[in-house]
Amino acid sequence: MRKYIIFIVFILWTLLHVYFLQLNSVLKIADSFAYLQMSHYLANFNMNWFWTGWFGFLYSLPIAVVKFVIGDDFLSAYFVNISLFVVSGVLLYQIWKRYLTREYNVLLMIVFFLSSTLIHYNINILSENIYLPLFLWFILFLCNYIDNKSLGDTAVNVMAWNSLWFLGTKWTVVFSLISGFFLALLYLTRWEAFIYVGSLFLLVFFLAFVWEFSFKKATGIFIWIVVSFFVFISPYIVYLHGITWDWWLTNKWSSNIRQANMRWVDVMDDSGFEKSVWELTEDKHHLIAGFAGWLAYDKPQTKESLVGYFLDNPSIVLGRFFVNQKKLYSQSLPKLILWDALREYQNSDSKFYNNKIFFVILILPLLLILNGVYKMIVNQTSFITISAPFFIVASVFFTLFFVIDRYFLIFIPVALLVMVYGIQEFPSKESFRRGRYISFLAVLLGIYGLGAQAYFFNHIGDDGEYRLKMEAGVWLKKNICKRKVCSYKVMERFPVVTYYSGTKVRWLTPYVENLDDLLEYAYYNKVDYLVVDSVDFEKYRPKLNFLLDSSRKYKGLKVLKRFEDGEDVVVLYEFER
């Protein structure tokens, strides 16, 4: 029976994630449209529609494949998500069965599947769903190589490296090629993964120091990794050059630097993000970051220099770095590890939640992670050697600009692994080991079970305000297009109406303060319809919020249809030519 426990855990918690899918029965995340858009064109073998290159296409690929069977891209994405999460669990088990006993691996699987953080991303159509298993697969590959010390010197290897160190031996070349391939897969999913080239630099040279093989050999391995990485991503780099006219790893540099300068340093500032991405260029015809519809970058975007960002005012950059470091460790990471259990404690007026005993119980996972890190260092566990360079590079690089929680999501399984290892290595007498396991199992089930329950009840019914936008999109498709795929251009902040209207091209409502600039942009780009809704405009476009009053006549706009449901309002306007 014991050998089937892991399998039973997988089945039960997979069904739990399927049950949570009801929280997202309507498309309501802007990025989700981009991935479904690319999956549509990939399914139709149209390789020219990778949009503006802001989003990696790899996540959309399995959705496109599954769509051939299921037919609906929304359901296909959910099938892909659940499947990939199970794969993540299997990879996690494969990594840690070498470090944990079976009973502690069961505990790890329970916490992994119950984490409300991971549930949240798993039930949303976001690239983290493939980014996470790819990262775990890469870690597993590194564990296999390093645990076997395949990079160590032998007498033959030493002779080869002294003469042809830049070519290496068979196993080091294979290691380098596969590492470059994994980095390429991560990069084609999320562009910021290129920073982990630096992680492999730290890892390879640390191993050279610990295993006492030549730094010349370490240099050769790293050169092979970098070369293979660029060879694998070169077709996509050529594609980016075709739409941006620049040779860059990403076309988001200017936008991200603008965001770093415009956001508040300690909170996520919506206006900073909106202005940095959706502001119009001087000619009022293009978005300043080139992020619109299918437009190529035929007008210059603002060229923010990375060197200038660091050198123009180093004291500001350094101050932002330390503030973001504080935010990362005091807010973002605890929130990702505990998620809704922590939010439930913070928001509740109940005496049960606000007493000191419960607070100590709640932060227990964080203390166990610290113990796990300590025990790994003392026991010289290879996992800490492998995972630490990835986290170090991410924690330094991202905090130089701004902290977004999802950038650190891939480290949550790593944190959970370390936490359970901290429990396994927790000191206790032989006679109390069974009691220790049962006690920690009960506490973690309570914490993460509370988080999962809180997440469900906090988000049940969230689709309501977006259902009105879905209704508007369905109406537009039924009454105007009447086809499966429509060619008109719909402009809105979050592309919910756009998605359900049947068009596969997204047009963003720019960040402007007057109607004339909006009309200038819409007329030049031949946009057909404008969506004004209370969900997005009151928060993201307050200067244009007056358009919710459809009883007035506005220059250049004609009311097509108004939808209301309580306080929620959606107005469809047609641009008059």
Q: Which tops the pLDDT comparison, 280 or 561?
A: 561
Q: Is the pLDDT of residue 359 over 90?
A: no
With CA atoms as reference, report the closest residue to 318 among 233, 260, 252: 260
**Main-chain phi, psi angles of 51, to 5 degrees:** 65, -135
Any bridge partners for residue 565, and if so which?
Answer: 568
Q: What is the per-residue pLDDT for 169?
A: 56
> Which two tokens mark 128?
């983290």
Q: What is the per-residue pLDDT for 47?
A: 66
Q: Is the pLDDT of residue 346 over 70?
A: no
Q: Is the pLDDT of residue 186 over 60?
A: yes
Q: What is the per-residue pLDDT for 303?
A: 65
Side-chain-facing half-sphere of 52: CA atoms under 13 Å: 24
Instruction: Tell me what the mean pLDDT of segment 262-273 comes to.
Output: 58
> Which two tokens mark 265?
């340093």
Q: What is the per-residue pLDDT for 429?
A: 65
With CA atoms as reference, report the closest residue to 14 among 78, 100, 57: 78
368 pLDDT tier (thresholds 50, 70, 90) = very high
Q: Which tops the pLDDT comparison, 19 or 296?
A: 19
**Main-chain phi, psi angles of 355, to 5 degrees:** -85, 160
- Beta strands, E only, 238-380: none
CA–CA distance, 450 with 236 (Å, rounded to integer): 44
103 pLDDT tier (thresholds 50, 70, 90) = confident
Q: Is the pLDDT of residue 165 over 50?
A: no
Domains of the chain from N-terminus onward? 464-575 (3.40.190)
Instruction: Tell me what the mean pLDDT of segment 223-238 comes to.
Output: 93
Q: What is the per-residue pLDDT for 271?
A: 59
- Note whether 200 and 225 are within 8 A (CB): yes
Q: Which tops the pLDDT comparison, 350 or 422?
A: 422
Q: What is the per-residue pLDDT for 162?
A: 39
Instruction: Tell me what the mean pLDDT of segment 313-331 comes to.
Output: 90
The percentage of the chain sitting over the pLDDT mark of 90, rounded to a whole number, equals 45
Q: Which residue has the tokens 């039960």?
A: 12
CA–CA distance, 76 with 58 (Å, rounded to integer): 15
Q: What is the per-residue pLDDT for 353?
A: 54
419 pLDDT tier (thresholds 50, 70, 90) = very high
Q: What is the per-residue pLDDT for 160?
A: 39
- Mean pLDDT, the chain, whole residue set: 84
Q: What is the per-residue pLDDT for 217?
A: 82
Q: Is the pLDDT of residue 265 over 50?
A: no
Q: pLDDT, tens digit, for every residue of 112-131?
A: 999 999 999 999 999 999 99
Q: Any idea which of 344-353, 420-429, 514-523 has the lowest mean pLDDT?
A: 344-353
Q: Is the pLDDT of residue 266 over 80?
A: no
Give the pTM: 0.91
Q: What is the per-residue pLDDT for 122?
A: 95
Q: pLDDT, tens digit, for every residue of 31-64?
A: 899 899 889 888 888 766 555 677 888 999 999 9
Q: Is the pLDDT of residue 395 over 90?
A: yes
Q: Which tops the pLDDT comparison, 408 or 430?
A: 408
